[in-house]
Structure formats: C-alpha cells, structure tokens
Amino acid sequence: MAENTARKYDAGAAAFFVETLCQDADTLLRFGFALSLSDEWASDLVYKTYQSILPKLPELIKKDGSYIRQLLLRRLWEIHHEESREGASSDNALYPFLKPLDLETRASLFLCDVVGLTIEEALEITPMDHNDLRRHLATGRKRLLDFRFE
C-alpha cells in the first residue's frame, strides 16, 4: 500500500493560506508575467512559489501581510532565476511595452510603480544595488512616458 506523504494542516493554517497568502496571487501573476513575458510561465511561477513556501506555513501564520508579500515576491524572483526562460510572444496588451525592456528594468518598474514598494523594499527582493535599481526604474519610466499603447 502506498504511503500518503501529503502534509496535513489544521483548519486554521488552511484558512490562513487561502485568506492571507492567496490574496497576493494576482500580484504574483503580474510579477511573473513582467519577468517571463509569458502567461503560461507566469502561472507556473506562481504555482511553484506557493508550493515552495508551504513548508514554512506554520511560521508564516505569525507574520504580517507586508512580510509575507515581500517573501512571496522574493521567492518568485528566485524561482524565475532558477529556471530562467522567456516568452516568445503574448496576446497580453503589455507585451509590446515590456518586451524591449531588460529583466531588471521590468522588475524595478513592476515592484515600485505597480506594487508600490519603496526602493528599499524592492532591493530586498532583487539582488540589484541601490543605484542600479534607480537607473532601471528611470529607464522603465522613460519608456512608459514615450510609449503609445494601441
């Protein structure tokens, strides 16, 4: 008989996962797209991110929402770099805007201008130094000002 290796969580932990952790799923999906330029891979990144933090669930119950969001975003960034690939094309309306930008610029723009993180908070997610992040953010903002969405 096969042994069931699935981890069991109590109802409180399950509720915490659904009510607290999953509220950031849309943000993670958008960050995944900004990094990968692929809807499919973005979904895979979100799934793998949640899967990777499940063992930490008992510890996370004691943490606040901003800590958890930072953890999820950082973990998604790490998973993206562990399995780096990029989408070839997408029907997403943002694809033409994002495609010419390098990965760090897309990440900086998303973390600061979409999620609303401070430079210091964004630095906790990516390995960039302060000056690089600010430079990438300025590049992304300039493109945003010059870009014409069709």
Q: Phi/psi at 25 (nearest 5 deg)?
A: -60, -40
Are 136 and 105 in contact by the 8 Å Cβ rule? The answer is yes
User: Domains of the chain (ranges plus CATH)?
Assistant: 11-146 (1.20.140.160)
Task: Give yes or no for a contact between 90 and 43, defined as CB atoms under 8 angstroms apart.
Answer: no
| Tokens of residue 107, six digits | 């990440």
pLDDT of 88 over the 80 cut: no
Please return the burial class of 148, using the count of CB atoms within 10 Å of its CB with bins 0-12, 13-18 and 19+: exposed
Confidence band, pLDDT 50/70/90 cuts, at residue 19: low
Q: What is the pLDDT of residues 113-141, one digit of tens each?
A: 999 999 999 999 999 999 999 999 999 99
Identify whether the C-beta of residue 82 lies closer than 8 Å to the C-beta of residue 48.
no
